[in-house]
Structure 1
Amino acid sequence: SEYMENAVLTKTGEVRVLVFHNALLRNESEEISGVLSSGEDVTERRSMEEALRAREEQLRTLINAMPDVVCLQDGEGRWMEANDYYLRLFDLQDQPFKGKTCRELAALSERYRSVYLYCMDSDERTWQLGSASRSETSLPQADQPALVFDVIRVPLFHPDGGRKGLVMVGRDVTARKRAEQDRILLSRAIEQVNESIIITDADGVIRYVNSAFETLSGFSRDQLLGRDPNERPVSDGTSGLSSELWNVLSHEQSWSGYLQHRNSDGHLCAIEATVSPILHESGFVNSYVTVMRDVTNEVRLEKQLRQVQKMEAIGTLAGGIAHDFNNILTPIIIYAEMALYDLTEDSSFRYPLEQIIQASNRAKELVKQILAFSRQDEQERRPMRVSAIVKEALRLLRASIPTTIEIRQTIPAEVGSVFADPVQIHQILMNLCTNAAHAMRGKGGILGINLEDVVLDPETSASLGDIEPGTYVRLMVSDSGHGMAPEVLERVFEPYFTTKKQGEGTGMGLAVVHGIVKRHRGAIAIHSEPDKGTIVEIYLPRIDAPTAPLEEGRIPYPRGHEHILFVDDESSLVAMAQHMLERLGYQVTVQTSSLGALEAFRSHPQDFDLIITDLTMPNMTGLDLTREILKERPEIPVIMCTGFSELLTPEDAKAIGIRELIMKPIHTRQIAQTIRRLLDQTNQLA
């Protein structure tokens, strides 16, 4: 028998589809005796089948056009369908995948083996769950990073609960995941950087702040987010950053500059800020990002650098002044000493000359202080009586302190000695008295300076900063000024902290004092109350210093008859030296030019017994002159005179061959004794 399908035109003109079943009829002899034919009208069935095929084709076209992976398994886990994207992704275009399980496909692909096995586990978990599930799957690639898919599995069941099939849809979320990772990385970076970052919309309303901005502003994120530029977060009044920032944002343009901010601790901070607009893709500004950095330390360092540069300039100026001043002082001292030496003990001129010498010596010490302060002179400690330094400082201070301030001093001469740098002790007193005078400048008052020996027991010394118990020299400076509040008193030793107005102080005075005292192994204590004044106590370890030698008075100066070459570019010093040395019995040749001195020496090198030369001279320095002279006569003694100790150390001088280094201004006895000693040493070696 056979089936035949024919299209039949009915009498109404309608085309119908008929299916005929034809069967041969046979007689007893098995011969064909006829044909039995039956027909069925399948027109509607065929129309339905055609429509179904068209819908299936449409659905397949739609699924294949989807940017997602779509596939179907039966209830046994065998693959039934998959769209083109899936086939391309797993290289199955030319592979007969239908009817195969994940395990069978895993055996065919080494690259995707782990993926298929993972899918098996995920499929089973979905069946066990009994409802849709969602998971992420990583798909390795040959020459690029793995792809990440977000996969949804939907189980299908028969009415009796049996497994019917499993539908899977997977979407490539690699770009989204990377964007999320980048966003997380960026968010973490912004949160963890030291710079403060704030993002606002075009109207200035805050949309984001990082943790650093919370710390800087003193406000929490909840207090800041969503705030309008005209609003102010609740504050304790310590932060001035918000108002300045609002003003910057309201200009709706890029901006870079500095802001002032007082943080929650009360410290004034310098903030470097940059405001940049963020453009919408259409080109208009839709938000702003502001990046701020606390540059307080940098500003402080810049200020220190400017101060160093200023001090270098002052040092250069002070060096020149000191050189000229020492050259002026030297003949004053020498002539006064020689005149005093010639007077009888009962002469009425002795006192004026002694006062000239004493004043010159004070001027000499003042020059040393200027050089030390300007870092042109090495600071050195030696046994000294604080009382002498205090009295000298007060003489200088009196002229600069208003007459409305009364100075009361108690400075016993018998107060012990300390091992200290006189210049730094002088600086301590100057700084303390200047601060005290400033506190009383409006209404006047009493400035007290007291000096005494005190004994500190272990308990008291520990309370002062763990200094050693023992005997100390205590310097107390008191004032009857406005005093200090406790919160100010806590910060008085901080560098650059000051309550003075701009230009009235740098905030370094007490910080410098504190540093000097600590370097001298001492202690400092401050007692102050508002409207009751301030007392500053300085404790310096006392030492047992030897008694100063008695004044040599009219002991004769050492004399001689040798030939001395004296060289200095200052004609007044040359005239003074010639007069002094000739009075001491020496034959003297003087020169105001180092080149002239070298020519004179080379003309008669054996005529000279000793050389005295200045260090700083035009055309040829004293060092160069000495080197040339020593080439001719290495044994001849050379005395170098200078007002700049930093230009030549005693060690460097001896290495060159200089026998003695004398600091200006010089004294008659000093130079006379040095000349005689060097000449005697040379004669003994001859």
Structure 2
Amino acid sequence: MASVTELYDAIPASILIIDERMHLIGWNRFSRDTINGLSDHEMASVNPLKRVHPDDLPEMIRKARDIIDLDIEETGEFRMYHKSGPPYKWATFRGKRAIIAGQPCVVAVVTEITEIKEVEEQQKKLQEQLLQFQKMELVGQLAGGIAHDFNNALAAIIGNTELALKKLDPSNPVVQNISDIHKLALRSADLTRQLLAFARKQVAMPRVFNLTKEVSDCLHLYQRLIDKNIHLEWHLCDEPIQVKFDPTQLEQILSNLLVNARDAIDGSGCITVRCGSARFEPSDGKTCTPRLSPGDYAKLSVTDNGCGIEASVLPHIYEPFFTTKEVGKGTGLGLSSVYGIVRQNNGHIECHSEPGKGTTFDIWFPLHQEPQQKTGIPADKPQTELKTKAKIMVVEDEPYILKLVQDILESHEFTVFTATDADECLLAAKTYEYRIDLLVTDVILPTMNGIELSRVLQKKNPAMKCLFMSAHAPDNVNGQKKLRVGVDFIQKPFGIEDFLRAIDQVLNSKVEKI
């Protein structure tokens, strides 16, 4: 039968006996060889508490005294180093009082738990990332909802001011007031576009382009945004890096990041822009972020040597209206719109910053493998003669927008029928024996959405054409049909000329089956 000493020595954990002077008077082989790396003779002079991390030492001393003085059992976690010194490792201990040779002592079992703590820390970080992502998703939904309602109001303001300006003599003193209202409404529409970008509901016109060239072209223009005492430099790779998204969104990203970098620098400094490619393999440790799947990416980085960002602020920088700038010097929508654009295009953004050490924003976009499109976005064609004899059914549940659209169309001598929902539209269409040339409808309606309504009407009148309106982007309004800007969709708010151009485009095109 094995002796007690042999049993202790077989245990893969440190067993210690400490007297009331905190001296080591007993140990097993694991403690001697693995933890201390000393001989039995040297072990007799060891003070085990000296291996404890300074931050954990007071608590460990208190627990040891309580075990001896109060005869209570104690457990806990602490950091300690093995053998010659740091790094510190996590351990757990369980201690109990024992009387040995007539003296009270602490008998403790110490087990290393470093790997367990690292796993727990990783799980904690992932949980925090998940909670932050969920929070951003909810904030995005709220921002999108606010932008949707605000865009409806702006559509009525912009359209009615344009109608009023067309009717008034330019010498009329109220023209300037109405023009100011129109300009402010357009500026407000820009703010809602930033909200929609954060909510990933911004209308985008994606195309394939060379990110390296586009960034270079943009930076030449954006130098005027940067103060003369701030040096702007860029390091772009030589080979083409093809991506597919809206180039105007790239301009939004760069302008927001460059302005923030400029504002973070007090006095002279440097802003550096880098562009290159990156590949993540399934086994690559860099793919630990849940936002990056294995594959090929384009990487865009903007670095400044400014004041940096406090750790407590970092989790909030992408939230709409959150800003550290003085009142009147920022809307708090810059980084939120950057975040929304990146996520809308299946990308990922990370911020690395320390107070006094500057900030770096890293953005990844999926590489596009197909050949670059040779043609750019076509310029708006001149408006052709409108088919003013066409009969148009307008369906809109917002009365101000319904009246506005009716006034625009009737001022161009169209025959206009109106309805506030699908039921009213179907009843009117039946009354007019479905003789409707064009259906202009909001996508979101109270009883039946605009897509479903168009299908019902086209069954009765296959020649009927459709133009859909919404304050959201077409990809987000309905999953039943792919709506296309410039083909069968116009986003609110819109100007009169844009609306008439859309009407003309649809009336002169082939019928789109829904």
Establish whether TM, by shorter chain, passes 0.5. Answer: yes
- Superposed counterparts of 1:368-517, under 5 Å: 368-376=193-201, 381-382=206-207, 421=246, 422-423=248-249, 425-431=251-257, 433-434=259-260, 437-438=263-264, 440=265, 444-446=266-268, 481=306, 500-506=309-315
Partner of residue 290, structure 2: none
Cα offsets for 1:529-548 (capped at 9, x unmatched): x999899999x99x999788
| Alignment pair present for 1:647 and 2:471 | no
| Alignment pair present for 1:586 and 2:392 | no
Letter in 1 for 2:51: P
Partner of residue 614, structure 1: 442
Partner of residue 317, structure 1: 142
Q: Judge conservation of contact 1:376–1:646 (CA < 8 Å) in 2.
A: yes
Q: Judge conservation of contact 1:330–1:573 (CA < 8 Å) in 2.
A: yes
TM-score normalised to structure 1 length: 0.45
Paired-residue identity, %: 23
- Superposed counterparts of 1:180-579, under 5 Å: 221-222=35-36, 231-233=49-51, 242-243=56-57, 246=60, 249-250=63-64, 276=94, 286-289=107-110, 291=113, 292-294=116-118, 295-338=120-163, 363-376=188-201, 381-382=206-207, 421=246, 422-423=248-249, 425-431=251-257, 433-434=259-260, 437-438=263-264, 440=265, 444-446=266-268, 481=306, 500-506=309-315, 558-579=386-407
The number of residues matched between the two structures is 421
5+ long unaligned stretches in structure 1: 1-172, 192-196, 212-219, 399-404, 412-417, 467-474, 483-498
Q: 1:632 to 1:231 in 2, by over 3 A?
A: same
Cα offsets for 1:388-446 (capped at 9, x unmatched): 98899999x99xxxxxx9986989xxxxxx976444553455345535644x5xxx424
> Following TM superposition, by how much is the alpha carbon of 1:673 offset from its aligned partner in structure 2, in angstroms?
3.3
Partner of residue 678, structure 1: 506
When Rg is computed on C-alpha atoms for both structures, the one with the higher figure is: 1
> Following TM superposition, by how much is the alpha carbon of 1:320 offset from its aligned partner in structure 2, in angstroms?
0.6
Give the Cα–Cα distance (whole angstroms) in 1 for the partners of residues 315 and 166 of structure 2: 49
Q: 1:617 to 1:288 in 2, by over 3 A?
A: farther
Partner of residue 236, structure 2: none
CA RMSD of aligned residues (A): 6.4
Letter in 1 for 2:419: Q
> Following TM superposition, by how much is the alpha carbon of 1:301 offset from its aligned partner in structure 2, in angstroms?
0.7
> Following TM superposition, by how much is the alpha carbon of 1:563 offset from its aligned partner in structure 2, in angstroms?
1.8
Give the Cα–Cα distance (whole angstroms) in 2 for the partners of residues 347 and 545 of structure 1: 48
Partner of residue 169, structure 1: none
Paired residue secondary structure (1:232): helix
Q: Judge conservation of contact 2:435–2:461 (CA < 8 Å) in 1.
A: no
Cα offsets for 1:148-177 (capped at 9, x unmatched): xxxxxxxxxxxxxxxxxxxxxxxxx6xx59
Letter in 2 for 1:222: N
Letter in 2 for 1:329: L
Give the Cα–Cα distance (whole angstroms) in 2 for the partners of residues 307 and 661 of structure 1: 34
5+ long unaligned stretches in structure 2: 67-71, 99-104, 234-241, 280-299, 319-334
Q: 1:626 to 1:354 in 2, by over 3 A?
A: same
> Following TM superposition, by how much is the alpha carbon of 1:641 offset from its aligned partner in structure 2, in angstroms?
1.5
Letter in 2 for 1:664: K
Partner of residue 465, structure 2: 637
Partner of residue 424, structure 2: 596
Letter in 2 for 1:298: Q
Letter in 1 for 2:36: D
Q: Judge conservation of contact 2:223–2:232 (CA < 8 Å) in 1.
A: no
TM-score normalised to structure 2 length: 0.57
Higher strand share: 1
User: For structure 1, which segment, 376-385 or 588-597, has the greater mean C-alpha deviation from structure 2 after superposition?
Assistant: 376-385
Partner of residue 456, structure 2: 628
> Following TM superposition, by how much is the alpha carbon of 1:374 offset from its aligned partner in structure 2, in angstroms?
3.2
> Following TM superposition, by how much is the alpha carbon of 1:305 offset from its aligned partner in structure 2, in angstroms?
0.6
User: For structure 1, which segment, 423-432 or 620-629, has the greater mean C-alpha deviation from structure 2 after superposition?
Assistant: 423-432
Paired residue secondary structure (1:608): coil
> Following TM superposition, by how much is the alpha carbon of 1:304 offset from its aligned partner in structure 2, in angstroms?
0.8
> Following TM superposition, by how much is the alpha carbon of 1:323 offset from its aligned partner in structure 2, in angstroms?
0.5
Q: 1:560 to 1:209 in 2, by over 3 A?
A: farther
> Following TM superposition, by how much is the alpha carbon of 1:575 offset from its aligned partner in structure 2, in angstroms?
1.2
Paired residue secondary structure (1:564): strand
Q: 1:585 to 1:649 in 2, by over 3 A?
A: same
> Following TM superposition, by how much is the alpha carbon of 1:586 offset from its aligned partner in structure 2, in angstroms?
1.2
Q: Judge conservation of contact 2:261–2:303 (CA < 8 Å) in 1.
A: no
Give the Cα–Cα distance (whole angstroms) in 2 for the partners of residues 622 and 300 of structure 1: 44
> Following TM superposition, by how much is the alpha carbon of 1:309 offset from its aligned partner in structure 2, in angstroms?
1.0
Letter in 1 for 2:414: Y
